[in-house]
């Protein structure tokens, strides 16, 4: 959005410069100001507007830098591209991002941090981020974090409804391949079924052969289940804080 505005501003300055130059020599617009300052000064002003406009436009059209996240993805999941992949955010990773990139009480990421990747935050994870569970009754992250991700980083807040067949498959993988699942009692099992982790894994499973990159620090559960999914050609990968320097 910012680059588009910069390019429009550059075009506007170029147009103004051309109009000034034309009027200087032809009087086509009849601008009294230009008549007063003379041809030489009018030409200089016009040329300055055009040159500044070109520079402004080029700065808006210049390729953006590669973000830290895109560098990490290129190393961990080199086959993933914006055309074949979607990024899903887990609550613990958003919390870590807020702690890593917090400046003056607010999260500050580089422009377009997620690059051209479609990036989603499902409703179950958003609920976890806003829930007040600790003794201070504070949410996992400040309320402005989710709004910032949505408005400044173009993260999509997406509702997701888990179908029962997918839920049972994810649950069976959790029980068979994670320490938490093997040791879980009925209460822990119910908690997992209702968690954002279950929702994330359900989305990844239903994406099938498309690449799903889950940004999560919970490798002991999400990572282990992702490993099993890849054995069934479900291309889900987990990238967490340990992948960042």
What are the tens digits of pLDDT across the range 2-57? 556 667 777 887 888 777 766 666 554 454 444 545 566 667 776 777 787 777 66
Given a cut of 70, the residues of the chain with pLDDT beneath it are 1-6, 21-42, 46, 56-66, 132-137, 245
Dihedral (C-alpha) 107, 112, 113, 119: value to the nearest 10 degrees?
A: 100
Task: Look at residue 26 in the predicted model and tell me its pLDDT.
Answer: 58
CATH T-level topology, domain 68-243: Rossmann fold (3.40.50)
Q: How far apart are CA 105 and CA 108, in angstroms?
A: 9
Task: Look at residue 13 in the predicted model and tell me its pLDDT.
Answer: 79
Q: Structure pTM?
A: 0.72
Task: Look at residue 136 in the predicted model and tell me its pLDDT.
Answer: 62
Task: Look at residue 186 in the predicted model and tell me its pLDDT.
Answer: 96
Task: Look at residue 135 in the predicted model and tell me its pLDDT.
Answer: 58
């Amino acid at each position: 959005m910012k680059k588009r505005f910069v390019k429009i501003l550059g075009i506007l300055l170029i147009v103004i410069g051309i109009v000034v130059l034309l009027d200087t020599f032809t009087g086509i617009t009849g601008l009294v100001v230009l008549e007063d300052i003379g041809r030489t000064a009018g030409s200089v002003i016009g040329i300055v507007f055009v040159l500044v406009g070109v520079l402004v436009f080029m700065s808006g059209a210049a390729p953006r830098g590669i973000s830290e996240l895109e560098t990490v993805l290129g190393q961990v999941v080199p086959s993933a591209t914006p055309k074949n992949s979607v990024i899903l955010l887990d609550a613990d990773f958003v919390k870590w991002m807020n702690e890593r990139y917090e400046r003056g009480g607010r999260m500050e990421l580089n422009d377009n941090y997620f690059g051209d990747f479609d990036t989603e935050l499902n409703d179950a994870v958003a609920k976890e981020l806003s829930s007040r569970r600790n003794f201070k009754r504070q949410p996992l992250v400040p309320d402005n974090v989710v709004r910032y991700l949505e408005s400044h980083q173009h993260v999509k807040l997406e509702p997701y409804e888990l179908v029962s067949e997918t839920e049972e498959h994810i649950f069976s993988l959790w029980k068979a391949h994670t320490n938490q699942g093997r040791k879980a009692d009925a209460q822990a099992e119910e908690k997992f079924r209702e968690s954002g982790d279950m929702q994330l894994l359900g989305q990844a499973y239903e994406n099938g052969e498309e690449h799903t990159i889950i940004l999560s620090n919970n490798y002991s559960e999400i990572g282990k289940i992702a490993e099993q999914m890849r054995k069934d050609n479900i291309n889900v990968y987990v990238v967490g804080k340990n992948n960042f320097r």
